[in-house]
Structure 1
Amino acid sequence: MTRREFREHTAKLTFVFEFYPEDEWKEQFEAYADYAEIKEEDRENLWKRVLAVEEKKAEIDSFIDGASKKWRINRISKTDLMLLRVAVYEIKFDLEIPDKVSVNEAVELAKIYGGDESPAFINGVLAKFMTEDKSGEEK
């Protein structure tokens, strides 16, 4: 699976998990993975990534809330929020993915899944993270 596909599946699953209690996540994951025909060798890494995003969700949402001054979390569309969460996770916690790649991929996915204003909104929010390194220090 390509990194883009991995990122897209992660975003979709974080969206799905918004509507189910935690004790049903594994079942929902398996149903999604079967439907999306995700290979067995990719499932474990995808499951781990989705859980990692969910584990950091409160912290990620705090970052998003601080970067989107005029738009509080509860006002951001669920689609935009799922894309932001995955990108912010990558920017803040994944040392292997360059920040610019995370931003670009989130914007490209927003063009597919978001509304007309989604790409610009997501780009604007994520641009605020580009002045810090992974430890929170100024670049």
Structure 2
Amino acid sequence: MTRREIRDRIFKIVFTLEFNDAEGMQDQLDFAFDPEMPGDEEDDPLLYGIVSNEDRDYITTKVKNIISKKAEIDEIISQISEGWKLPRIGKEELAILRLGVYEVKYDESIPEKVAINEAVELAKKYCDASASKFVNALLAKLVSGDKDKKESGADATAE
């Protein structure tokens, strides 16, 4: 699977977990990898059960990491989405933002620009036209806010 396909699958699992409690996470992960369950598209690797163990482990680990940091991630989303309470944000957009915030803040193996671009692409694919701009604006604000904090911290250290 490509990284984009993997990220797409992670988004779908994080999205479905919005409708299930934390105890149901393992069931959702099992469901996501069940070769008997049809995929969304004809070329979906999961449709044919051709997910490597490495990809399965990566997806599972990342989903569990996102869910374990959900409270922190949601707090970050609340801070950067001034005037928007979490319940007002669409479920798809929220799942995309959770994945994007996780990748920007906690996954050092993914460059920030890539994380933002991939989140925007997910929004274009699964949400309405304005959602990609919303996702882009919030994640860009997060990145610029982090850079401002680093720069002000460096200035304070230099003094």
Q: What is the letter of the counterpart of residue 11 of structure 1?
A: F
Q: What is the letter of the counterpart of residue 111 of structure 2?
A: P
Q: What is the letter of the counterpart of residue 20 of structure 2?
A: Y
- Taking the TM superposition and a 5 Å limit, the aligned residue runs for 1:1-139 are 1-34=1-34, 35=37, 36=46, 37=49, 39-41=51-53, 42-131=55-144, 132=146, 137-138=150-151
**CA apart distance, 1:76:** 0.2
Q: What is the letter of the counterpart of residue 109 of structure 1?
A: L
**CA apart distance, 1:70:** 1.9
Pick which of 15-24 and 106-115 moved more: 15-24
> Rg larger in 1 or in 2?
2
- Calculate percent identity across the aligned residue pairs: 40
Secondary structure of 1:130's counterpart equals helix
Q: Which has the higher contact order (CA 8 A, sep 6+)?
A: 1
Q: What is the letter of the counterpart of residue 97 of structure 2?
A: L
**CA apart distance, 1:24:** 2.0
Cα distance in 2 for partners of 1:26, 1:70 equals: 34
After superposition, what is the alpha-carbon deviation per residue over 1:83-136, rounded to whole angstroms, capped at 9, x for unaligned? 000010000001110000000011111111011210111011111122225xx6
**CA apart distance, 1:49:** 0.5
Q: What is the letter of the counterpart of residue 32 of structure 2?
A: Y
Across the aligned residues of Structure 1 and Structure 2, the Cα RMSD in angstroms comes to 1.6
**CA apart distance, 1:48:** 0.8
Cα distance in 1 for partners of 2:57, 2:141 equals: 32
Cα distance in 2 for partners of 1:96, 1:138 equals: 22
Q: What is the letter of the counterpart of residue 80 of structure 2?
A: A
Q: What is the letter of the counterpart of residue 58 of structure 1?
A: A
After superposition, what is the alpha-carbon deviation per residue over 1:47-98, rounded to whole angstroms, capped at 9, x for unaligned? 1100000000110011111111021111000000000000100000011100
After superposition, what is the alpha-carbon deviation per residue over 1:9-44, rounded to whole angstroms, capped at 9, x for unaligned? 111101111112222221221112123335141212
User: Could you list the runs of 5+ residues in structure 2 that have no partner in the other structure?
Assistant: 38-45, 153-159
Aligned positions, number? 137
Cα distance in 2 for partners of 1:118, 1:38 equals: 31
Structure having the larger proportion of residues in helix: 2
Secondary structure of 1:128's counterpart equals helix
